[in-house]
Chains A and B, each alone.
Chain A
Amino acid sequence: MKYFSLFFFCLYGLFHFNTVSAENTGLLASLGNSPTYTSQNILALKDSLKNLDVRLADYPDDYEASLLKSLVYFRVGEFQQAITELDGLIARVPDFHLAHLIRGDILLARVKKLNGLGNNSILNSLSHKQSTLLKSLLQESQMRLGRIKQDDLTSHYPRQILNLGESVEHALIVEKSTHRLYAYKRQDNGQPPKLLRDFYVSTGKKEGNKQLKGDLRTPEGVYFVTSWIPEEKLPDKYGVGAFPVNYPNELDQRQGKTGYGIWLHGTPSKFYSRPPLDSEGCVVLTNEDFNTLKQEITPGVTPIVIVEKVDWLDRTNWIAERDLLLGKLEQWRMDWESLDTSRYLDHYAQNFWSKGHNYKSWSKRKKRLASNKSYQKIQLSDISLLAYSENGNANDVVVARFQQDYQSSNFSSEMKKRLYLQRQSQQWKIMYEGR
C-alpha cells in the first residue's frame, strides 16, 4: 500500500493573518517556504478534499469526513472555510471533543505558531485528568487523520475477504493498528467486494492479540456476529446497541484462549467518540456510525475479521489468491467424492481436530465409511472464504463457510459447514472441520 508522503504535522501547519488578508499571494509563498511542502503535496491535499466530498455526498452525516475537510481547508490556507466547516460540524455534534480541540488550534494558529495538536501555552497547566483527556484526543486525531493519508482504497482489496456466499451480503474488517472498521458489500459475478464505508473504532485498552479473560485486548481472527442486543436492554455504556461475536471461536478454544463478551457496540451518551485504546476488548463505534452500520449486519451471517493489519492486494493478486483457495476447496470436494480415501485425507493436517476426533480417529472413520459406499455426491454452495494472518504469513488461516449437500449410496444430508484451513509449508491443510 502506498501512502501520500504527507504527514500529520504537514496537515497541521502554520497559517496566519497574511494568508487570509492575502487572498492573492500569501498562500503559495508561505507554502513554498515550508520545507515539507511541495506542489505534489498540495495536489494530494486537493485530492483528499475531493475524496472527502465524495464521502460526504454518499453520507452527509460522515462527521469524520467533515472534520478532515476542515483540516485540509486549514492546511491549504482556507481559514474561513475551515472554521465554517468546523462550526457546522460542532453544531451537529456538540460532544465531538476532538472537533473542539482542532477548532481551538485553528483559531490559535492565527496568532501563533503551533507545534502540533493541542500543544500551546493555553493548555500548559492541565490537571492530570485533563492531560489524559488531551492525550487521548491526540491519539484519536492521529488515527482519524491517518485515513486521509491512505491511498485510494477502490483499487485495492483486502485479502481478509476472498469470497462471500450468496446469502452473505456484507462483511466487516477491523484493522486494529489504524483503528478502522471497513464495511464491504458482496459483488456478483466473482467481482471483488466493494468498500461501502469505513469508520473510526476504539479497541481494547491493551495492544496485542487477546489470550486470556480480562487481558483488555481485542481478539484477532475470523468471527461472525451471533446476535443483536437492542439499546433498551443495555446499560448506557454500550450506547445504542450491541452485536456479540463468537469469540472464542473453535480455533481460539483449541489454542486455550479464554474470555467472552466481545461485542461490537456504540458509545455512552455523554461522549461522541472514545479514544483509540479504550475498551475491555470490544470494538466500539460512535452511536451515529453504529446506527449506519447496523443496517448492514445480519446476526448469524455477517463475518467480522479482526486483524492487526489488513493485507491489501491489487485486483490481480486478490483474484489469484481467491481462485487458489476456491480451487483448493474444489479439489477437496472432488477427492472426497472419488472415494479414494488417501487422496481425501491428504487434505487434512496432522494437527487436525473435529468434535470428538483427531487426525487418527478421523482417518480411521473416513476409511471405514468409504468402504461401505458405491458412490458419493457432494455439492458445495454459498461459499465464504475469510482469511486471517498473524505475523505476516507465519500463521495463515482461512475460514471456509459453505452449504454442503451430501448424498451417497446409503446416506444423505444437508448442512452448514465450517473449515479452518492452515498454510503448512506452502500447502493449505484442513485443521478443523465442523458445523
Chain B
Amino acid sequence: MRFIQALICSTFLLQMGSACAQVDELATVLQQADTQAKAGQLDQAIRTYNNLISQHPSQPEIYNNLAVLLAKQGKLDAARETLEKAMRQNPVYATVYDNLSAVYVEMARGSYAKALQLGMAPREVALKSVDVNPVVTKPVTVASAKQTKAGVVERNVSSEQAKAEKPLDFDSIKMTLHGWASAWSAQEVDLYLSFYAADFKPGKNLQRHAWAKQRRVRLKKPEWVKVTLDNIQIEAIEQDRISARFIQEYQSNSYNDITHKEVQLQSSPDGWRILAETAL
C-alpha cells in the first residue's frame, strides 16, 4: 500500500504540490492507525480512524477498516453502524457488503442464543479490511482552511488536473463486479439492478424497463443461485469508461453454466455502473 501511495505521490508531485501533501498526510495517518492496530492498541487505532473520518467523510474504505477493529473488540453494533455508513458512501462495495453480512449474522446468532438458551460462546468476527486509496479523497479540512479566493481557484484547478490524470482504480472496478455477482447470488434484485447504469442498453430489442422486469423474474425463479467471477481483465476504453472480460460461473438448483462475458462500466458519482453486457 505504501508503495502505491509513493508511486501515486511521485506521479502527482510534478503537477499538484498541495494535493500531494494532503495525500501524504492521509498516508501517514493511515500508517499510524495500521501500526497501532498491529500493536494491539485498538482503542488508539479506532480514535485515529474516527479522526480520519471526520476529515474524509466520504471514503467507505476508512469506515470499513474502522469496523474491522470494532468487530475485533466485539462491538458489533458499532461495527454495524459504521459499515452502514460505508454502504451509504458506496452501496456497491463488495467487501463492505460481505463485512456487514458477517456482522449481521453474528448479531443474529447472539440473539438466537438468548432466545433459545443455546449457550453459544461469542465468536470473534474477523472482517476484511481494504486498502484506502488516497487519490479519491477530497480532504475537507484543507479546503475550508483556505478560504481565500485564490486558494479556492487553486484547488479547483488542481482537482481538475487530478481528475484528468487519475489512474484507473482497478480494485474498485473489481469490487463492483464482485458486488454485482454477490447481489445476483443473494437474489437481491433491486441491489442487482442498481449495478446497471440508467442508460444501460439490454440489446435484443428489449426496452430497459422490460429487461428489468424479465431479470426480476429470472433472478427470483431458482431456489438458490451462486454466481462467481474469475479471470477478470480490465481495459480502459476512455476516461471513466472501461471494458472488463471475465469468466462467469453460474450455478443454481436447476441450471449450471460457464460463460465468457464482456461488460462495459461507466464511472459515476455513485461508483462504477454497467453500461453494456455481452456474452462472448
Contact = CB atoms under 8 A, between A and B. Distances in A.
Contact of A18 (B104, B114, B188): B188
The B contact surface, by secondary structure, is: helix
B191 A101 contact: no
B118 A130 contact: yes
Interface residues of A, number: 33
A33 B116 contact: no
Interface stretch (A107-115, A306-314, A376-384, A392-400): A107-115
A105 interface: yes
B111 A103 contact: yes
A20 B101 CA distance: 14
Interface stretch (A22-30, A155-163, A336-344): A22-30
Contacts of A130: 116-118
A130 B113 CA distance: 10
Contacts of B190: 16, 18-19, 22, 26, 29-30
A271 B236 CA distance: 63
Nearest to B89: A21
Contact of A108 (B84, B87, B91, B108): B108
Nearest to A95: B114
The A contact surface, by secondary structure, is: helix
B87 A17 contact: yes
A393 B84 CA distance: 58
B116 A20 contact: no
A100 B112 contact: yes
Given A20-B84, A21-B88, A130-B118, A107 B104 contact: yes
Contact of B104 (A29, A30, A111): A111
A100 B115 contact: yes
Interface string B98-109: 001100110111
B116 A112 contact: no
Interface in A18-64: 18-22, 26, 29-30, 33
A104 B115 contact: yes
A19 B117 CA distance: 31
B107 to A, nearest CB: 5
B241 interface: no
Interface string B118-132: 100000000000000
A123 B100 contact: no
A33 B216 contact: yes
Interface in B121-174: none
Q: Identify the interface centre among B87, B116, B117, B191: most chain A CB within 10 Å of its CB.
A: B116
A126 interface: yes
B187 interface: yes
B196 to A, nearest CB: 14
B97 interface: yes
Given A17-B87, A130-B116, A133-B117, A113 B187 contact: yes
A101 B115 contact: yes
A123 B112 contact: yes
A17 B107 contact: no
B194 interface: yes
Contacts of A29: 190
Given A17-B100, A107-B107, A107-B108, A112 B186 contact: yes
B53 interface: no
B235 to A, nearest CB: 30
B213 to A, nearest CB: 10
B189 interface: yes
Contacts of B117: 130, 133
Contact of A134 (B104, B108, B116, B216): B116
A16 B118 contact: no
Nearest to B192: A18
B189 A33 contact: yes
Interface string A168-201: 0000000000000000000000000000000000
Contacts of A367: none
Given A21-B88, A30-B190, A107 B111 contact: yes
A125 to B, nearest CB: 10
A417 interface: no
B73 to A, nearest CB: 19
A6 B50 CA distance: 45
B21 to A, nearest CB: 34
B115 A16 contact: no
A30 B186 CA distance: 15
Nearest to B189: A33
Interface in A51-107: 94, 97-98, 100-101, 103-105, 107
B188 A16 contact: yes
A137 B189 CA distance: 32
Contact of B108 (A30, A105, A113): A105
B186 A98 contact: no
A16 B104 CA distance: 11
Contact of B191 (A17, A94, A126): A17
Contacts of A1: none
A324 B141 CA distance: 82
A112 B91 CA distance: 17
B180 to A, nearest CB: 13
B105 A122 contact: yes
27 contacts: A16-B188, A16-B191, A17-B87, A17-B97, A17-B191, A18-B91, A18-B190, A18-B191, A21-B87, A21-B91, A22-B190, A29-B190, A33-B216, A97-B114, A97-B115, A98-B115, A100-B115, A101-B115, A103-B111, A104-B109, A104-B111, A110-B101, A110-B104, A111-B101, A122-B112, A126-B118, A133-B117
Interface of A: 16-22, 26, 29-30, 33, 94, 97-98, 100-101, 103-105, 107-108, 110-113, 118, 122-123, 126, 130, 133-134, 137
Given A104-B107, A108-B104, 6 more contacts: A16-B190, A18-B191, A101-B112, A103-B115, A104-B115, A108-B108
